[in-house]
Amino acid sequence: MRGAHGELLLLSDSLERSLYGSEEFADAVKTFLLGSERARLCVFVNQPQLAVQNVPRLVELSRRISSRFEFRQPSEEQSSNGQRSEWLLADRRVLLERREPESLQAQFWAQEPQRGKLRAEAFEAIWNEAQPAQYLRSLDL
């Protein structure tokens, strides 16, 4: 994430605490978002109720920098799709992917613009059908 400058796209089941819940991760996201006027983070999460428990630092950060940080969740139509893979895409060319949320293995591609383009297009299709994750915006932690 340190090399990203413009966009982070994160697709996750529940934003697993061990991956995304640390203070270090939240600080890296904050540095990224404040490092450029065009920086933005889009997070699609399948289980927002679990996510709010797993990543309270990120939820708080999203409230403070809401113009650049957005959470969305599956729409009614998407809920039955069962999206299982998880990934983080930086600037449409650096990709970290797990095929299953429970998997301990992930793949990393450092400079893969073609793969990144395909993942970004898939993300945008999911994102455009998704709805804002109000649960992550409205709770007082």
For residue 117, give the CATH number of its domain: 3.30.870.10
Block residue for tokens 């999911």:
126
CA-CA distance, 33 to 26, in Å (whole number)? Answer: 11
Residue scoring higher pLDDT (125 or 137): 125
45 pLDDT band, cuts 50/70/90, is very high
Residue from 132, 99, 92, 129 nearest 114 by CA? 92
Output the pLDDT for position 64.
92
Domain count, the chain: 1
Block residue for tokens 């950060």:
61
137 pLDDT band, cuts 50/70/90, is low
Output the pLDDT for position 140.
47
Block residue for tokens 């065009």:
38
pLDDT digits (tens, 9 = 90+) for 79-89: 656 667 899 99
119, 123, 124, 125: CA torsion to nearest 10: 100
Output the pLDDT for position 78.
75
Average pLDDT on 1-24 reads 88
Q: Is residue 2 part of a domain?
A: no
Q: Is residue 71 part of a domain?
A: yes
Q: Whole domain around residue 28: which residue ranges? A: 7-138
What is the C-alpha radius of gyration for the chain, rounded to an integer number of angstroms? 14
